[in-house]
Amino acid sequence: MTKLKALLLPILFMMLACDTPIVPCVELWGECYDIEETTSLELRSQGLAEEIPPKIRHLTNLTWLNLSQNQLTGEIPPEIGNLTNLTYLNLSQNQLTGDIPSEIGNLINLTALLLTNNELTGDIPQQVCNLIESNNLFTINITYGNNLTNTCP
């Protein structure tokens, strides 16, 4: 019976957290997003004021992610590199710090990468430079308003 409870409790929690029966979801900023159905998150200017949760990696069908003009803090989680279907990533005008994670180089479908006006430091990873060189990125703005120490060739 104890094993059965251990198996059923996560399912029950998921049902209660998403308020729908057995829909796998990820809770971000107080909202539940269906893992299979969520392809776009447009959360610009929503007053978000915490770190980007690493569990965002579960929304693998995302093609559009706009978290700009909030007060997001901390580092860009490397797990963002799991979102390989992204074509648009905008994290501009937040308070993000640290290095740009090299895992962003995994986002080979990106056509727009916007990271301006944060507090990012360090070198632009070669993996990100490779994305730029691939000519898939039509819009890129990552250096303005940050403290990055190099640019891509």
86 plus 47 within the same structural domain: yes
Tell me 32's DSSP state: E
N residues, the chain: 153
Report the alpha-carbon distance of residue 21 to residue 16 in Å, rounded: 8
Sign for the CA dihedral angle at 139, 75, 81, 19 comes to negative
Question: Does 153 map to a domain?
Answer: no
Per-position pLDDT tens, the chain of length 153: 555 555 555 554 555 555 545 669 999 999 999 999 999 999 999 999 999 999 999 999 999 999 999 999 999 999 999 999 999 999 999 999 999 999 999 999 999 999 999 999 999 999 998 988 887 788 889 989 999 987 786
118 plus 94 within the same structural domain: yes
Residue 48: CATH number of its domain: 3.80.10.10
Question: Does 19 map to a domain?
Answer: yes
Domain ranges, residue 15: 1-35
CB 125 within 8 A of CB 151: no
CB 120 within 8 A of CB 148: yes
Question: Does 140 map to a domain?
Answer: yes
pLDDT tens column, 32-67: 999 999 999 999 999 999 999 999 999 999 999 999
